[in-house]
Amino acid sequence: MRLPLDAHLRPIQKLALWAFTAVFGSAPSPVLIASYNKSFFGNGWAPCMKKGMRSATEWSVGEVELFAAFVSRLNSCGY
């Protein structure tokens, strides 16, 4: 069961997610989670995710994103 992560968004967040979905087809789960409760996920979770995704000095940003998408696919998780 997936939580309805867009149910408690402010109007500006709903508009941003609508625009993102209109352009790209869907919003990735990390974006939905970070938007769900900004004071809980956004402020504490985003810096942690950024450090984890950007601290690999051996890989480029594109390689890290590709690896994350591949792992998400293996875990049947929409990236």
Q: What digits encode the pLDDT tens for the residues 25-74?
A: 877 766 777 666 666 666 777 777 778 777 877 888 888 888 888 888 88
Q: What is the 3-state secondary structure (H, E, C) of 1-66?
A: CCCCCCCCCCHHHHHHHHHHHHHHCCCCHHHHHHHHCHHHHHHHHHHHHHHHHHCCCCCCHHHHHH
Task: For the chain, give every domain's residue range.
Answer: 11-74
Note the pTM of the prediction, 2 decimals. 0.46
**CA 60/CA 63 separation, integer angstroms:** 5
Return the pLDDT at 63.
86
Compute the average pLDDT of residues 16-24.
83
**CA 11/CA 18 separation, integer angstroms:** 10
